[in-house]
Structure 1
Amino acid sequence: MEKLDSIIFYNIDKAIRAYRNYAQRQLRENGFNITIDQWLIIKALLENPEITQNEIGNLVFKDNASVTRIIELLVKSGFITRKVHPTDRRKTNLSVTKSGKDIIEKVQNLVENNRSVALQNVSRQELKIMNNTLLKIAENCINTKNKS
């Protein structure tokens, strides 16, 4: 019977969880009152100003209930605003506030440092191979989903 640490998907998940825990700890220890998920949603909004809540969920791999909860916290924190869409009351327009842009800017150096710590002793060649491999795995799974 195979051991967990020989299963590639177990190791991918372990690496992602270890990185997220490390990155969240660094945010907290450096006095930032924001979570990784909140940071991701603000970044998604900054990069895609017209994005819908469902599209945000797809982009950051979160279900609609989680995105709604995170957006509510971001509104309360003053990092984003939410306004009813002028022509479709079922939709909302989300926009990043000045303090939201400021927190992203302030956190950027820490994010880059977190990445460099996580990627220590990983060569550019290894990164390139790993990235290509992960993209192929994702594509295989997406193609399988579309064939069903």
Structure 2
Amino acid sequence: MEKLNSIIFYNIDKAIRAYRSYAQRQLKANGFNITIDQWLIIKAILENPGITQSEIGDLVFKDNASVTRIIDLIVKSGFIIRHPHPEDRRKTNLEVTDSGKKIIKDVQGLIETNRKTALKGISKTTLEIMNSALLTISDNCLNTKK
């Protein structure tokens, strides 16, 4: 029987969880009052004006309830504003505030440092192969009919 640490998907998940935990600790240690998920959602809104909450969920791999909860928190933090949709009152338009833009900019350097730490000792060639393999895995799983 195969051991957990020989299963590639177990190791991928373990690496992602380890990185997210490390990155969150670094945010806190550097005085940023924001979570990785909040940063991702603010960045998604900033880069995709007019994006819907379900599109945000797809982009950051979160369900609608989680996205709604995170958006509520970042609205309370003053990083985004909700505006009523002019034609559909069930929808809202999300706008990143100046403080939201500032936190994205301020955290960017730390994010880059975190990535360098996580990827230390891995060659550019290996990273390119790994990225290509991960994209192929995604395509294989998303494009199956069965």
Tell me, yes or no, whether TM beats 0.5: yes
Deviations 1:14-53 (A, max 9, x none): 0000000000000000000000000000010011011000
Please give the alpha-carbon distance, in whole angstroms, between the structure 1 residues aligned to 2:82 and 2:46. 14
**Paired position in structure 2 for 1:5:** 5
**What TM-score results when the alignment is normalised by the length of structure 1?**
0.98
Deviations 1:31-78 (A, max 9, x none): 000000000000100110110000000000000000000000000000
Please give the alpha-carbon distance, in whole angstroms, between the structure 2 residues aligned to 1:26 and 1:61. 22
**Paired position in structure 2 for 1:98:** 98
**Paired position in structure 1 for 2:83:** 83
Deviations 1:107-133 (A, max 9, x none): 010000000000000000000000000
**Paired position in structure 1 for 2:110:** 110
**What TM-score results when the alignment is normalised by the length of structure 2?**
0.99
Cα RMSD, aligned residues only: 0.5
Secondary structure of 1:18's aligned partner = helix
Secondary structure of 2:44's aligned partner = helix
Residue type matched to 2:60 in 1?
Answer: V
Which segments of structure 1 move beyond 3 Å, counting only runs of 4 or more? none
**Paired position in structure 2 for 1:131:** 131
Secondary structure of 1:82's aligned partner = strand
Aligned residues: 146
Q: Which runs of 5+ in 1 are unaligned?
A: none
Residue type matched to 2:59 in 1?
Answer: L
Q: Which runs of 5+ in 2 are unaligned?
A: none
Secondary structure of 2:83's aligned partner = strand
Matches within 5 A, 1:4-23: 4-23=4-23
Secondary structure of 2:95's aligned partner = strand
Residue type matched to 2:42 in 1?
Answer: I
Secondary structure of 1:121's aligned partner = coil
How many Å apart are 1:87 and its aligned residue?
Answer: 0.8
